[in-house]
Amino acid sequence: MDVLSAMAVFVRVVDLKSFSLAASELGISSSSVSKQISHLEQHVGARLLQRTTRRLSVTEVGAAYHEKCQAILADVDEAENLVSQLQGKPRGLLRINCNMTFGQLLLSKAIPEFMAAYPDVQLEVALDDSDVELLKEGFDLALRIAHPKLPDSSLIARQIASIPLFLCATPSYLAQHGHPQTPEDLRQHNCLVFMLASNTNLWTLTNAEGSQTVQVSGDLKANNSLLVLQAALAHRGVANLASFVIERYVEEGRLELLLPEFQAEQLSLYAIYPDRKYSPPKVSLFIEFFQGWLENNLQQKLHCQSRS
Amino acid sequence: MDVLSAMAVFVRVVDLKSFSLAASELGISSSSVSKQISHLEQHVGARLLQRTTRRLSVTEVGAAYHEKCQAILADVDEAENLVSQLQGKPRGLLRINCNMTFGQLLLSKAIPEFMAAYPDVQLEVALDDSDVELLKEGFDLALRIAHPKLPDSSLIARQIASIPLFLCATPSYLAQHGHPQTPEDLRQHNCLVFMLASNTNLWTLTNAEGSQTVQVSGDLKANNSLLVLQAALAHRGVANLASFVIERYVEEGRLELLLPEFQAEQLSLYAIYPDRKYSPPKVSLFIEFFQGWLENNLQQKLHCQSRS
DNA sequence: CAATATTAATTCCATAAAGATAATAATCAT
DNA sequence: ATGATTATTATCTTTATGGAATTAATATTG
């Protein structure tokens, strides 16, 4: 019997308090879960889980064993990371979690290049705006726009890019409501607010003379920049969006950049990853790669255009 | 693939520097060893052993992984011991190592009773007078007569019985050479020396007035008490043997106890076992059992007879 | 409060993977 | 080069896996 995989199954069952949930999460059948737990119980010679078809409880020995198993599985992981690191060659499954829109627009373009360059690394990407518990969920790497809260001290957050925001609106909207000439003018406009961090109603603009913060208002707040974008494209108002979101629309002339002499805020992109003793090369490799990729692909065209 | 058992195989291969030795020691086929190592290498994504059919060397990553594996296997063991201990029920394989003669004469009699009382414990007994490295060899418990040297601080030695030695010789020998009346008289006798510890030529005898040590000599020294016994039974001289060795011959009248008012040395029987965080109940169970058994079966008859 | 519905673990059976034995290939000593 | 020894491969047997049917326990509902 494969004790180690049975341990992994057992740990997952205890965490989720369900055979079937653990099964589907682990991608195996529930019958396999059932059998593996049974075998594990036989192996250690004690009942680990008290179960009826309806309720699941962990026995005293089960709880103690669960702790041990977690430690053992972590050690096994560490051993494999150690080998990876000594070996140097990036390899294995890299599980990435990324913000929704950023993932759709940018990460999605970088991934094929990465795959081509490193065929021995398998990718599994989840796009998700909620602050999942990254380690618990088994991600190797999370890409997060805006300052991450790191309740877990075993995580490292490293800023790998700055993402400039740009004020924009459609020519049609501007024709109707006028071009803002100063930041103060924004108060008179319908501002479409992208809620990413807190204080999203405050837009800060900087030029050579200093920066000023304007409290804006409008009839849309959304936590997804594509929603804000669509509203802007539909002539609903002024949006403050990341370069990579509006790029192609600015190029097409469907959106016009406002107050080009001002620099809007910059969002930061953070790579968040476990602070492990031996971190597998695939993680740092991807971070290096992506950082390089972003430098080449992120803040090129709009910058020129806006500052020209 | 069963990573854990593959790790165990790998560790054994590295220790023994041979696939085939590891196979025979682990009781599996060498093809299985070969496959498991290959799979493990695939799994971690690195070559662990550099091997030709003729020579075997451990790669750098292999050496590092080997260390990790040892720790992991120890932890798995500890986890199972923990379960055993919480569970309380003695169970599993108990591997005992014991001195040759003691094992043949006493342990051999205790074992069937133990087996009957605790059917869930499987026994594997090795009789061996050499000071094997107990932990390395995978024994749970060693029974050793005489003071053990414990180079390994992770071992506990617990005295579980005193084994009285008795001076004896055949009536025929005594008729020819006379009965010794004082310890000093032993110098005139051919003393058959059982070499167990050092200084085996010195016999210490104690009575109400104190103890005296006599340097004896003779034409036989042996490291096995049955050899000494046979020599004594063949009228070759005076022996100083453990009660359990000579018991039946004294009863039969083939051996006669000498200087009955004196107490000869006592050997100590030690139980030696790993000082583990969670020691499995089977070990302490056996020690308790055997200690009790020895109290009932060891120093009964001869004591009465000798002191009467 | 009882009968039923529902959900979750287990068992049964067909298939896939892993293990053992025996034969093969490979390497170093003589 | 040959032989002795050791790892690998081939074939067969045993064991594990996944899906359907079963069993069991609580929630629901009349």
Q: Which residue of B has its CA nearest to A6?
A: B2
Q: Which residue is nearest to nucleotide C12 (CA to C1')?
A: A31
Q: Are residues B27 and B68 in the same domain?
A: yes
Please give the Cα distance from A141 to A155 (Å, whole number). 10
Domain boundary residue, one of A86, A110, A133: A86
In three-state form (DSSP H/G/I as H, E/B as E, the rest C), the secondary structure along A259-281 is CCCCEECEEEEEEEEECCCCCCH
How far is Cα of residue A12 from the mean position of the Cα atoms in its chain? 23
Chain A CB contacts of B64 below 8 Å: 82-83, 86
Q: Is the pLDDT of residue B158 over 80?
A: yes
Q: How far is the CA of B75 from the C1' of C8 (A)?
A: 33
Nucleotides on chain C within 7 angstroms of protein Cβ: 7-12, 18-23, 25-28
Q: Are residues B79 and B105 in the same domain?
A: no
Q: How far is the CA of B4 from the C1' of C24 (A)?
A: 30
Q: Is the pLDDT of residue B307 over 50?
A: no
Domain-located, residue A192: yes
Virtual CA dihedral for A32, A35, A37, A41, nearest 10 degrees? -160
pLDDT averaged over every residue in chain B: 86
Whether residue A46 and residue B76 make contact (CB cut-off 8 A), yes or no, is no
Phi, psi of B213 (to 5 degrees): -110, 130
Average the pLDDT over A175-185 and give the result.
92
Q: Are residues B177 and B214 in the same domain?
A: yes
Confidence grade of residue B132 (pLDDT, cut at 50, 70, 90):
low
Check whether residue A34 has its CB closer than 7 Å to nucleic acid strand D.
Answer: no
Confidence grade of residue A147 (pLDDT, cut at 50, 70, 90):
low
* Structure-token pair, residue A116: 């081509």
Nucleotides on chain D within 7 angstroms of protein Cβ: 5-10, 15-20, 23-26
State pTM to two decimals: 0.79
pLDDT number for residue B211:
87
Domain boundary residue, one of A32, A64, A86: A86
DSSP tag of A2: -
Residues in chain B: 308
Do strands B202-207 and B210-215 pair parallel, antiparallel, or not at all (unpaired)? antiparallel
Domain-located, residue A308: no
Q: Is the pLDDT of residue B279 over 70?
A: yes
Q: How far is the CA of A287 from the C1' of D15 (A)?
A: 43
Chain B CB contacts of A94 below 8 Å: none
Closest partner CB to B45 (pick from A44, A71, A91)? A91
Check whether residue A26 has its CB closer than 7 Å to nucleic acid strand D.
Answer: no
Query: Residue A204: which CATH number?
Result: 3.40.190.290
Residues in chain A: 308
Q: How far is the CA of A64 from the C1' of D25 (A)?
A: 27
Q: Are residues A175 and A259 in the same domain?
A: yes
Give one word for A79, left, alpha or beta, with left for phi > 0 and alpha for psi -120 to 50.
Answer: alpha
Please give the Cα distance from A304 to A302 (Å, whole number). 5
Choice among A25-34, A148-157, B16-25, B276-285 with the minimum mean pLDDT: A148-157
Domain-located, residue A303: no
pLDDT in tens, B68-90: 999 999 999 899 989 988 888 88
Q: Are residues B53 and B72 in the same domain?
A: yes
Domain boundary residue, one of B86, B119, B143: B86
pLDDT number for residue B135:
59
Q: Is the pLDDT of residue A308 over 70?
A: no
Q: Are residues B147 and B254 in the same domain?
A: yes
Query: Residue B77: which CATH number?
Result: 1.10.10.10
Q: Are residues B159 and B202 in the same domain?
A: yes
Q: Are residues A126 and A258 in the same domain?
A: no
Q: Are residues A184 and A236 in the same domain?
A: yes
Answer yes or no: are the C-beta atoms of A135 and A15 closer than 8 Å: no
Helix (H), strand (E) at residue A126: strand A121-127
Whether residue B46 and residue A80 make contact (CB cut-off 8 A), yes or no, is no
Q: Which residue of B has its CA nearest to A1?
A: B2
Please give the Cα distance from B91 to A41 (Å, whole number). 13
Q: How many CB pairs under 8 A join A and B?
A: 86
Q: How far is the CA of B29 from the C1' of C23 (A)?
A: 14
* Structure-token pair, residue B51: 């091997």
Q: Are residues B124 and B273 in the same domain?
A: yes
Q: Is the pLDDT of residue A302 over 80?
A: no
SS3 B191: strand
Whether residue B68 and residue A86 make contact (CB cut-off 8 A), yes or no, is no
The total of structural domains in chain B comes to: 2
Query: Residue A99: which CATH number?
Result: 3.40.190.10
Q: Are residues B45 and B103 in the same domain?
A: no
Please give the Cα distance from A92 to B27 (Å, whole number). 33
Range of the domain at A104: 88-161+268-298
Average the pLDDT over A1-8 and give the result.
91
Counting residues of chain A whose pLDDT is more than 90, the rounded percentage is 45
Q: Are residues A276 and A134 in the same domain?
A: yes
Give long-range contacts, CB 8 A cutoff, 24+ apart: B66-73.
B66/B10, B66/B11, B66/B14, B68/A75, B68/A78, B68/A79, B68/A82, B69/A79, B69/B7, B69/B8, B69/B10, B69/B11, B70/B11, B71/A75, B72/A72, B72/A75, B72/A76, B72/A79, B72/B4, B72/B7, B73/B4, B73/B7, B73/B8, B73/B11
Domain-located, residue A306: no
How close A64 gets to chain B, by Cα (Å)? Answer: 8
Choice among A118-132, A145-159, A191-205, B238-252 with the minimum mean pLDDT: A145-159
Chain B CB contacts of A72 below 8 Å: 72, 75-76, 79
Q: Which residue of A has its CA nearest to B43?
A: A80
Whether residue A91 and residue B5 make contact (CB cut-off 8 A), yes or no, is no
